[in-house]
Structure 1
Amino acid sequence: MTHDDTTPPEGVRLPGGPVRELSTEPLVAAHPGMTCPWALAERVSRSPEGALVSRKTALGRGWQDMSAAAFRTHVREVAAGLVAAGLQPGDAVGIMARTSYEWTLMDFAAWEAGLVVVPVYETSSAEQVQWILTDSDVRLLLVENRAMEVMVDSIKASQPHLAHLTVLCTEREALPSLVAAGRSVEAAELDRRSAALTSDTLATVVYTSGTTGRPKGAELTHGNLVHLCVNACAHVPEVLGGPDVRILLFLPLAHVLGRFLEIAVVCSQAGVLGHAPDVRNLVPDLESFQPTAVLAVPRVFEKIYNAADARAVGTRQKVFRLAAKTAIAYSRALDTAKGPSPTLRAQHAAFNRLVFARLRSVLGGRVRYVVSGGGPLGERLGHFYRGAGVNVLEGYGLTETMGPCTVNLPGTTRIGTVGIPLPGCSVRLAEDAEILVRGIGTFRGYHDDPQATAAALTRDGWLATGDLGSIEEGGFLRITGRKKEIIVTAGGKNVAPSLLEDRLRGHPLVSQVLVVGDNRPCIGALICLDAEMLPQWLHNHGLEEMDVAQAARDIRVRSALERAVTRANQAVSRAESIRTFSVLPTDFTVANGLLTPSLKVRREEAHRRFASEIDELYARPLSA
């Protein structure tokens, strides 16, 4: 599809005049019985002996398939244990763990028993865990290891109202003990509980990992979860259809995007789901599992690109960077009427053998599509991956929309946009260009917080996202910034920081960036170095070993970053360009509270913590 094609994709309605609203009709109609237990039972009825889950073998060198029927049997055994534990329909159970088979098992077991699941990030602080457990009134919490168990027990000891909370630890054989206890529960009780569920029944309360304030619990129904996933499978059969679909899940299952993928594979015709709990082993896991599609947040794709650049030395690095430029140019040319020139095609073919094939092998060798969500990927990376032979489908969604509400399609993609609405979803632009969404995945409100619900949802069900956007010809949504993040300089210039931050993170040395300048004379930036990439970069440039704090003060490192800033500034006007920056001796991480679990910068916290460093930016002479 070219940029000149103004024909809307099939199913998208475009009103006359300037486009302010997009709407796509559902491909699969909803019904009251559309619940998570129904979805699993349907998958079993379609292919009882076909693989649904693949688990790493004991030695971690291979994968062993589990049939849909076997998985459902395990689910019902654990569900019976939850019933035996005294949990009543509608009670809340929590899961605090890394991405794992056990999480998916517990999710579906809780739903089979008529319970509500509350996910908790394993990286959450004690204060966050206490708030979530208290606010949602969790009755039973499954934790992954002894350290988590000790933390939760200490919270219980100081909070008498949590005395009812039962903590089970997978390291202590929690799931086998549930299975053993559940043998006294009749199957008819599980059937009764699951039959009592409807698509309007609350399925999960997902607490936002927002960049500001206390987390709010978004209430999502069984219909939100399943109806959206069923329609997504019908909407992108190239990704979720067919007999050979394999999805390796390494996103946190506490994040709604990971949860969406988990349920979508169950709703698919024959998809197989694997779990990768440790991202440090992600590359070998991808190579051995061989997924057909990879879904991740933008930072993962940035890290893959930066690692490839940093590990190339000397002439090889020059070759990689020329290949990257060729990939981007080739992808951009695909969006023109003439397409790539014969010379560009020849260069692309050469680099396909030398560079791009190796990059695809890092993703497992069989990847047909890469799906990016949870934040803006940026045109640079989007064109790079597509030019390297990996089809990038960027989408957009929130916790409150059960994951994606728009996505680019394999045959209808415009790099730099987040695509068109999924079936059953609508997008509208407010007068100030704020994006409003409504549809089958939209949550019913925040848990026990009517004031926050009223502030987020209009009376007719439109969700105010806080994101700014535009609708391009052909019905493609483009994210242009976030209302709360727009910087207004002292000169009155409005600046969206994401473009500059995206381009700077493309440098191998850079981990995170905070662009600042509100009520200041110009735009500035705080730059964090990537501790993983630093040793390789120093070696490649013939420099001695140093830690991050030393590198932050090194004039040679700063010179390299000055060049990166100059390149980033080429994408914006003079008034929007970075004219002063500092290199921090530390990084923004989830552990230190400067990143959300979905790897977004907590801007208010970063501004507060580095207030003196920001002041210092503007106390020094500014670049010309």
Structure 2
Amino acid sequence: MAHLFLSRVEATPDGEAYRYPVPVDEHAADGAPGAEQWRSLTWAQTAERVKAVAAGLMSLGIRSEDRVAIASSTRIEWIIADLGNMCAGAATTTVYPSTNADETAFILSNSGSRALFAENAKQLEKVVAKREDLPELRTVILFGGAAEQPAAEGLTVLTLAELEQAGAKYLSEHPDAVTEAVAALDKEQLATLIYTSGTTGRPKGVRLVHDCWAYQGVAQEESGLLRSDDIHFMWLPLSHVFGKALISGQIATGHVMAVDGRVDRIIHNLPVIRPTLMASAPRIFEKVYNGIAAKARAEGGAKYKIFLWAAKVSRDYARTTQANRTATGRATAPFALKLQHAIADKLVYAKIRAAFGGRFRGSVSGSAALSPEIGYFFLGAGVPILEGYGLTETSAGTTVNRPDDIRIGTVGRPLPGTEVRIAEDGEVLLRGPSIMRGYHEMPEQSAEVLEADGWFHTGDIGDFENGYLRITDRKKDMFKTSGGKYVAPSEVEGKFKAVCPFVSNILVIGNNRNFCTALIGLDETVIMPWAASHGLAGKPYAEVVASPQVNELIGGYVKQLNGDLQRWQTIKKFTLLPRDLDIEHGELTPSLKIKRPVVERTYADAVTGMYEGANEA
């Protein structure tokens, strides 16, 4: 990756590489948050900072394959620190900023990290609190705030600016230090340790080498997924493999990346950045769709009817053009449908595209399954979602839909150089340069998923359809009812998200049970306005979801869902949770995957209550 980066700098030194927001002033005149402006870095300017960071790390004694961690949200400094690590020959350990002190200490200790880039004092406090568990950690570099010395023996704290200054001095004395470190890199040298989100048990450190990331960059470019003229809005957590892989693609193509990880600024940033490309988890599109539907519902009358009509036209148009493209190679539709689509475009779709900045050519979706109904809606509205598939263990992307040939309901075709095979039991197996080189210091667990000839067992169930991969479910999540019928819970959950605009999270339960039930968390921003207009104004969220009105509302959507399911898949009973699932309570991973065992334990009484008195034989 360091070679790829320096080659990019040499090829387009004056080209714009990154944009990032900086405050103009702390507060506006009325006391509101201050204004911001976007600054840019050229590739040459980026390289100057990256080399200074690399040399600064060398001045601290960091050498080949030493681990240097980053605990920060997505921001320009994260990218500079990561590239600095790799250009010094070191390896980056990624840590989510939301990770608690105990797990942060575990990751830093297990990885043997010698230094840490910390976003702020809050991240520093975690390692100070666990200092006795981190004997190898000697230095913390702060992205923000002053470098105040903590009450922790043997721990040096400095700012990123101070590290870069130390690096500049080091380069004045050793001008070829970074160049020589990069030249000494091997493609099989450790570049990154990413710890799996851990839906069960302690996270495992996934060992990803330089060749994994270099392959990702080249494959994304060759597939046509990324283009040199793209403007990519990067808000995904870079501690997650999905965001990290897209940095590789950006370096390979040289396109502009606008970096701001503040999720609450996404809607504000889109019309400012006007991106051509964005990557996201499906939950963002679900929330956008639910928000659009809720706004139309609140306006009532004709506007809501127009939205419902336009949503149906959008899906019908997308389904028809996709089917015709598959059959004939031409994305055509009957004249009447084209006319309806054109009218709906002026009334509804154009406004949606404008909200995304007006020049959107696609959004890559990963980390969880996208509901096909959501996918068809946005495709028909001219905001195509390119669903892909990958795991931490595969450096993210292995298959992806292409902008010029989208198959909703699939995760696309393999990237160039990646092989896909379906095992006899339906498990998806992968092989190629992006596959991890094992779990850190866990040879037995590595051998369980990696075959000697390079095939990786994903744990996902899937099948091929005309060269496109379809993922059915997680192998470990599928369950069998007491009647002997298999149920893929994510399939049912995805269908419910498509029909119910109020849902945030849903967990289908039924292993060894006579019927299926569900735990459902509602989207507070959508259900509360509905509640206010239905006699529940002023009530707190927990009372709203416990009300007969809301239970009857959601029950209607469950009935609608059941009409599209096999008998053994249907939801016989459901419980609305008193709060939505979240990361803070340990129910979601940082990448927003549900920790099923945790949720089932937390709400064990509710699950038991749904089966009380039922015939479990």
1:214-256 Cα distance to aligned partner (Å, 9 max, x none): 10111011110012211211111xx42143x111111100100
Partner Cα distance (2:506, 2:468) in 1: 28
Other structure's SS at 1:282 match:
helix
Residue among 289, 299, 322 paired with 1:305: 289
2:570 to 561, 570, 577: 577
For 2:114 and 2:308, how far apart are their aligned partners in 1?
A: 54
Cα shift readout 1:287-317 (whole Å, capped 9, x = no counterpart): 1011101111111111111111112221223
* Alignment pair present for 1:208 and 2:200: no
Are positions 1:423 and 2:416 aligned together? Answer: yes
Is residue 131 from structure 1 mapped to residue 123 from structure 2 by the alignment?
A: no
Q: Tell me how far apart the structure 2 counterparts of residues 520 and 99 of structure 1 sit (CA, whole Å).
A: 43
Structure 2 residues not aligned, in runs of 5+: 25-34, 147-158
TM-score by length of 2: 0.91
The one-letter code of the counterpart of 1:358 is K
Match for residue 322 of structure 2 among 332, 335, 346: 335
In the alignment, what sits opposite 1:279? 263
Counterparts of residues 145-294 of structure 1 (less than 5 Å): 145-156=120-131, 158-159=132-133, 161-162=134-135, 164-172=137-145, 174-185=159-170, 186-236=174-224, 239-243=225-229, 245-268=230-253, 270-294=254-278
1:93 maps to amino acid? V
Distance in 2 between residues matched to 1:103 and 1:576, nearest whole Å: 44
Partner of 2:548 in structure 1? 555
Distance 1:352 1:86, change over 3 A: same
Contact 1:535 1:545 in 2 (8 A): no
Determine which structure has greater relative contact order: mean sequence separation of CA pairs < 8 Å that are 6+ residues apart, divided by chain length: 1
Report if the CA contact (8 A) 1:513-1:526 is conserved: yes
| CA distance in 1: counterparts of 2:520 and 2:430, whole angstroms | 34
Q: Does 1:403 align with 2:396?
A: yes
Does residue 388 of the first structure (1) align with residue 366 of the second (2)? no
Q: Give the gaps of 5 or more residues in structure 1.
A: 1-35
User: 1:177 is aligned with what amino acid?
Assistant: E
Q: Give me the whole-angstrom Cα distance separating, in 1, the residues matched to 2:345 and 2:137.
A: 60
- Percent identical residues: 37
AA partner of residue 311 (structure 2): A
Could you list the per-position Cα deviations for residues 73-115 of structure 1 after superposition, in whole angstroms to 9, with x for gaps in the alignment?
Answer: 1111111111111212211000001000000010001111110
* Structural mapping, 1:1-20, within 5 Å: none
Q: CA RMSD in A?
A: 1.6
The aligned counterpart of 2:58 is 83
Aligned length: 580
| Cα offsets for 1:569-612 (capped at 9, x unmatched) | 23311111111101110221111100011111001111122111
1:542 shift after superposition: 5.9
Tell me the residue number matched to 2:117: 142
1:446 aligns with 2:419: no
Residues 71 and 96 in structure 2, CA contact (< 8 A), matched pair in contact too: yes
**Secondary structure, counterpart of 1:281 in structure 2:** helix
SS at match of 1:294: strand
Offset, 1:620: 5.8
1: distance between equivalents of 2:190 and 2:161?
27
Q: Distance in 1 between matches of 2:533 and 2:231?
A: 37
Of 31, 41, 51, which residue of structure 1 is paired with 2:16? 51
1:91 partner letter: D
DSSP 3-state at the match of 2:176: helix
Name the SS for the 2:194 alignment partner.
strand
Distance in structure 2 (CA, Å) of the matches to 1:62 and 1:357: 27
Contact 1:328-1:387 within 8 A present in 2 as well: yes
Residue in 2 that maps onto 1:494: 486
| 1:243-278 Cα deviation digits (max 9, x unpaired) | 3x111111100100000111211111x301111221
Pairing partner for 2:46 from 57, 60, 71: 71
Relative to the length of structure 1, the TM-score reads 0.90
The correspondence for 1:456, drawn from 426, 445, 449, is 449
State the shift of 1:534 in Å.
2.6
Report the AA paired with residue 321 of structure 1.
L
Aligned equivalents of 2:554 and 2:513: distance in 1?
22
**Distance in 1 separating the partners of 2:261 and 2:389:** 24
Deviations 1:296-342 (A, max 9, x none): 11111111111111122212233222211111111111133494332
Q: Aligned pair in 2 of structure 1 residues 92, 179: CA closer, same or farther (>3 Å)?
A: same
Structure 2 Cα separation of the partners of residues 538 and 503 of structure 1: 24
Separation (CA, whole Å) in 1 of partners of 2:257 and 2:464? 34
